[in-house]
Amino acid sequence: MRIVDDIRKLIAATEVVLYPEPLMIVSVSRDEEEKARRLMEDLEPFSSITFDVSEVSLVLKTEEWDDLKENFHDYEEEGPYRLITFDIVLDLAIVGYLAVISRILADAGISIYALSTYLRDHVLVKESDAETAVNVLRGLIEECKM
């Protein structure tokens, strides 16, 4: 895969950090939005809540979900997943960084659930794929340093 020089430099400067705890990805009904807001507000990092027109998506520690799920009536859950953080602050105008990451993982047969925050990009991978994903990404980083 050809990587443009600007993206190559960013990838070379990236540190891959594997979050130590397993996470769940959960979809709850919009009817339970306020409950989701209330229950998620006291959680420690890493957690995420996204309000879509059709659902509320949650990402939270497996242990926390096990404690909270009895509060919800209508949900779908997937997991466990592991969070990989790309520890480099990226400008929002950067084009192609996550595309390279997702392509290299796709080529390795690893599906991702991408999450971006204001400063960083993250991907969730199935727990069974986490070690392989980290190795593939660290290989990409080393390749980009050459």
| Strand bridging mode 75-86 / 48-51 | unpaired
Per-residue pLDDT at 44: 87
pTM of the entire predicted model: 0.93
Residue type, 145: K
User: Is there a contact between 137 and 105 (Cβ–Cβ < 8 Å)?
Assistant: yes
Per-residue pLDDT at 144: 95
Helix (H) or strand (E) holding 12: helix 5-12
Q: Kindly report, residue by residue over 50-67, the tens digit of the pLDDT.
A: 999 999 999 999 999 999
Q: Which residues of the chain have pLDDT under 70?
A: 1-2
For residue 102, what is the domain's CATH number? 3.30.2130.10
Per-residue pLDDT at 103: 97
Residue 13 structural domain: 5-145
User: Is there a contact between 127 and 22 (Cβ–Cβ < 8 Å)?
Assistant: yes
What's the structural domain count of the chain? 1
Q: The tokens of 143 are what?
A: 């390749």
Question: Which residue in the block uniquely carries the two structure tokens 């960013």?
Answer: 10
Per-residue pLDDT at 1: 62
